[in-house]
């Protein structure tokens, strides 16, 4: 009985909520609608890419489902950022972008963010478009471009994955800072507010970016050792590299 009373008192106690991603109601309707409009085309392209790839290879859907779970779990580690109206957290989108491409990665991010908003109150529905654009669109495109660019320069698989993860994280939060500064500035000048928000993110996001780079590199190199055939199928390495990784 005492335990029940304690639980009820705990649930009834008012406390400030540090919602993950951009909190519900932070962005004005006009700005929220703009980010939805910018994110939607990428989500549609992601759906088409998934349908196309699943017709060619039935194994792609289980892989996408697994990556959605990975992104969901990785991005469920919020660290509140005081004064910024949001939280810092790893993104996980570099891993999905590297393995299945940026557009399907956007779709994966959308699913993860929607479930978090509906079930866990992490982020909001009105700000979902902004969260998809920053974490899904910008994060996925950055991770994919960095990884492919470094691989063309003959950088090792692990180092390319590390920089892809690190820069994906930082690009996501630069975009989040832009979204917050644009939406909440009111009569204030944009650049000073944007700078303040970026600085607010630095203490948490700087080490998180390094952590995400290490996680991305670790997962990609582990796959190269354990399932090089999968990376060959995803065209991340060639047959010779797969043979070397397996030895």
> Domains, the chain, ranges and CATH?
19-246 (1.10.1760.20)
Give the integer Cα–Cα distance in Å for 136 and 64. Answer: 14
User: Counting Cβ atoms within 10 Å, is residue 230 exposed (0-12), middle (13-18) or buried (19+)?
Assistant: middle
Contact yes or no for 224/157 (Cβ under 8 A):
yes
Rg (CA), the chain: 19
Two tokens at 94? 């570099």
Show contacts of 234-243: CB within 8 Å, 24+ apart. Answer: 234/99, 234/100, 236/98, 236/99, 236/151, 236/157, 237/157, 241/157
Element (H, E) at 187: none
Q: What is the pLDDT of residues 144-175, one digit of tens each?
A: 999 999 999 999 999 999 999 999 999 998 99
Report residues of the chain scoring pLDDT below 50.
1-19
φ, ψ at 81 (rounded to 5°): -110, 105
pLDDT at 86: 58
pLDDT at 2: 43
Give the integer Cα–Cα distance in Å for 243 and 79. Answer: 41
DSSP for 17-79, please give it: ---SSBPTT-S-HHHHHHHHHHHHHHHHHHHHHHHHHHHH-TTHHHHHHHHHHHHHHHTT--E
DSSP 8-state class, residue 124: -
pLDDT at 77: 75
In 3D space, the residue among 13, 3, 15, 21 whose CA is nearest the CA of residue 135 turns out to be: 21
Two tokens at 215? 């996680």
């Amino acid at each position: 009985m005492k335990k029940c009373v304690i639980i009820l008192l705990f649930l009834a106690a008012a406390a400030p909520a540090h919602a993950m991603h951009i909190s519900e109601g932070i962005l004005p309707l006009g700005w929220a609608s703009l980010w939805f409009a910018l994110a939607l085309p990428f989500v549609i392209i992601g759906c088409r890419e998934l349908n196309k790839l699943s017709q060619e290879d039935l194994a792609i859907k289980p892989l996408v489902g697994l990556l959605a779970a990975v992104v969901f779990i990785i991005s469920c580690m919020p660290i509140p950022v005081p004064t910024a109206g949001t939280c810092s957290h790893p993104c996980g989108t570099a891993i999905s972008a590297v393995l299945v491409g940026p557009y399907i990665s956007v779709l994966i991010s959308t699913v993860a963010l929607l479930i978090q908003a509906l079930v866990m109150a992490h982020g909001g529905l009105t700000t979902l478009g902004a969260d998809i654009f920053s974490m899904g669109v910008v994060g996925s495109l950055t991770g994919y471009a960095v990884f492919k660019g470094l691989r063309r320069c003959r950088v090792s698989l692990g180092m390319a994955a590390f920089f892809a993860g690190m820069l994906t994280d930082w690009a996501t939060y630069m975009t989040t800072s832009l979204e917050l500064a644009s939406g909440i500035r009111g009569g204030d000048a944009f650049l000073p507010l944007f700078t303040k928000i970026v600085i607010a993110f630095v203490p948490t996001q700087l080490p998180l970016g390094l952590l995400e780079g290490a996680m991305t590199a670790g997962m990609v190199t582990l796959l190269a050792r354990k399932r090089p055939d999968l990376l060959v199928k995803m065209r991340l390495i060639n047959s010779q590299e797969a043979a070397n990784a397996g030895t």
